[in-house]
Amino acid sequence: MINSILDQLRPIFSSEVFLLMFSMGTFLLGVLIYKRTKITLLQPLLISMVILIPFLKITGIDYPTFFQQTRILNFMLGPSVVALGYVLYEQIEQIKGNVISILTSVFIGSVVGIGSVVLIAKAMGADRMLMASLAPKSVTTPIAMSLSEKSGGAPALTAAFVVICGIFGGLVGPVLLRKMGIKSKIAQGLAMGSSSHALGTARAMEMGAVEGAISGLAIGIMGIMTALLVPFAEHLF
């Protein structure tokens, strides 16, 4: 009975309009819950995933269909990162005199981020495909998926790692920075953007305007650094 109803409704559930509205609706619901509760664990993206995944499983909509029907959301990731440039421009005075330290910090973060995850995965017996999928985990999704594909990884798997990395960084990052006594707004922004990309930047913006702007800058620099370093890391696979 239920399967018959689902079969009849599946064309509606799998339509582009429905999936776009449902995806955005679950995220907005997550934003509302987070604003009301202020509980760090209840991140909007995490709430959206908790609702979306069971829905897709129950209705029998596979991931390729979902990705195709919501492709505009994936496309908007690029422009949204570029839009951070305006926030960065407003904090340009904070960058002057710190260019070398910013570049050095992000470079070291990129080397450590790529090297550590690849070496740990290799020590645990992961194959080349999995290591290639893990290597670009700390950059924004479009860049990470492209690097993963060129390195022999699985872009869909990389996208999942990027989301997990972002959520974990958004949850743990501010607490870890506070426990370590790091009070520099620039250092906090660099740490959040370099390790947790867009999700970390969203959390950094809640911490302050300077932290958010520097975190947005770190996303761009981290993407360039990672794109340059991943080919060298392939020798570790």
Q: Which pLDDT does position 236 carry in this prediction?
A: 66
pLDDT digits (tens, 9 = 90+) for 115-173: 888 889 888 988 889 898 998 888 888 888 888 888 888 888 898 888 888 888 888 88
DSSP assignment, residue 237? -
pLDDT digits (tens, 9 = 90+) for 171-210: 888 888 889 998 888 899 899 988 888 788 888 888 888 8
Go through 10-45 and write b for each residue having 16 or more CB atoms within 10 A of its CB, e for each that does not: eeebbeeeebeebbeebbeebeeebeeeeeeeebbb
Sorted by where each begins, the domain ranges of the chain are 2-75, 80-236
Contact 137, 158 (CB under 8 A): yes
Contact 30, 170 (CB under 8 A): no
For the chain, what is the mean pLDDT?
85
Q: Which pLDDT does position 23 carry in this prediction?
A: 93
pTM for this model (two decimals): 0.74
pLDDT digits (tens, 9 = 90+) for 145-156: 888 888 888 888
Statement: residue 221 has pLDDT above 70 = yes
End-to-end CA distance of the chain: 50
How many CB atoms are located within 10 Å of the residue 147 CB? 24
